[in-house]
């Protein structure tokens, strides 16, 4: 009976202590919850008015073009992308990292905690240095490796320089592309066809083959394909073929490398405002009205695809492989 009383008193004391502790903590928790809710509140935006709409002025540039000279200048997330540590400690190589989707991916990766090496054509140095400054501002390693992807020897050295500069490699983004709008196949020269194939198909092959022995399980390979892989335009005869090939190598390599723990995925943009368009990638009249045919009445901006490249590289997408993620304003596939 005495023991029962002791137990009852012990239970009362314990219960009282728990109640007092809860009372002391709950106001703090309640305040924290309210504060977090307020600070985390997302701002909603109308996508039809979020970015510039055509018509755009005619602004041809020689290939490969500089986005810093475009009007409007493409938005690659320079001021808008906010990171959250999703790629902390990762090491990425991005081709075409000076502009467009490659630039958007490079900025996002750095803000997510990754060290980044970018490749670009030597004449794009001005745009590339802007990217390097943004990467370094995040306290991450920034490696520049300019050169011509149409050279097998350069592609091999590109990988080795990236590994040496970054101290390893676990993300590859094959983004650089050549796109030239030519109305008739009879006007496509062998030299032009060869340049497109080597830039868009051969280079990823050379890069992946060279890098593969160095990629640990958990690595990610991402290819930039296009809606052109599914719905090719008549004036992009050569380019569209390469994007279909990119989609295919993504699915093939995913099957081959999955057992090794390496994921392979692709991003398929629709009409996105990049230097491709003003450096021969679109006929003048199409360039001026570029993206007007989408459901949003405008082209996409590279910044609007940055989070896709992050998602496909991040560890929490560990079950995504052999996938192609589309972003086309409601008109393209997949």
pLDDT for the residue 40: 64
**Calpha distance 190→201 (Å, rounded):** 16
Q: Mean pLDDT across the stretch 158-176? A: 98
Percent of the chain with pLDDT over 70: 88
Residue 55, preceding peptide bond in cis (omega within 30° of 0): yes
pLDDT for the residue 37: 47
pLDDT of 82 > 60? The answer is: yes
pLDDT of 200 > 60? The answer is: yes
Dump pLDDT digits (tens) for 13-44.
444 444 434 444 344 334 444 444 455 677 89
pLDDT of 269 > 50? The answer is: yes
Q: Mean pLDDT across the stretch 150-171? A: 98
**Calpha distance 260→238 (Å, rounded):** 33
The domains of the chain, with CATH numbers, are 68-77+84-327 (3.40.50.720)
Active site residue 230: no
pLDDT for the residue 197: 98
pLDDT for the residue 247: 98
Give this prediction's pTM.
0.88
Q: Mean pLDDT across the stretch 52-77? A: 97
Give the CA angle between residues 147, 196, 325 to the nearest 5°.
Answer: 95
**Calpha distance 180→275 (Å, rounded):** 12
CA dihedral 147, 150, 156, 162 (to 10 degrees): 40
Annotated catalytic residue, options 109, 237, 239, 309: 239
DSSP 152-191: HHHHHHHHHHHHHHHTS--EEEE--------S-GGG--HH
324 DSSP β-pair partners: 266
């Amino acid at each position: 009976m005495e023991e029962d009383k002791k137990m009852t008193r012990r239970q009362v004391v314990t219960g009282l202590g728990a109640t007092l502790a809860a009372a002391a903590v709950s106001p703090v928790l309640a305040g924290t919850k309210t504060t977090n809710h307020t600070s985390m509140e997302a701002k909603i935006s109308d996508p039809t008015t979020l970015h510039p709409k055509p018509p755009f002025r005619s602004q041809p540039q020689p290939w490969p073009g500089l986005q810093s000279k475009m009007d409007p200048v493409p938005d690659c997330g320079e001021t808008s992308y906010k990171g959250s540590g999703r790629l902390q400690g990762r090491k990425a190589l991005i081709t075409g990292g000076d502009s467009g989707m490659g630039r958007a991916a490079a900025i996002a990766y750095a803000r997510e905690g990754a060290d980044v090496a970018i490749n670009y054509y030597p004449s794009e140095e001005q745009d590339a240095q802007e990217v390097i400054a943004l990467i370094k501002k995040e306290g991450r390693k920034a490696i520049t490796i300019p050169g011509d992807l149409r050279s097998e020897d350069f592609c091999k050295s590109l990988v080795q320089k990236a590994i040496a500069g970054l101290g390893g490699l676990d993300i590859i983004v094959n983004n650089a592309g050549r796109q030239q709008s030519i109305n008739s196949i009879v006007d496509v020269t062998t030299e032009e066809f060869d340049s497109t194939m080597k830039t868009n198909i051969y280079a990823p092959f050379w890069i992946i083959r060279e890098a593969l022995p160095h990629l640990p399980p958990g690595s990610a390979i991402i290819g930039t394909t296009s809606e052109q892989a599914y719905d090719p335009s008549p004036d992009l005869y050569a380019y569209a073929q390469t994007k279909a090939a990119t989609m295919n190598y993504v699915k093939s390599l995913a099957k081959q490398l999955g057992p090794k723990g390496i994921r392979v995925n692709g991003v398929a943009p629709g009409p996105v405002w990049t230097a491709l368009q003003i450096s021969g990638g679109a006929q003048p009249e199409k360039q001026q009205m570029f993206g007007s045919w989408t459901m949003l009445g405008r082209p996409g901006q590279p910044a609007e695809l940055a989070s896709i490249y992050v998602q496909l590289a991040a560890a929490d997408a560990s079950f995504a492989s052999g996938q192609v993620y589309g972003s086309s304003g409601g008109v393209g596939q997949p």
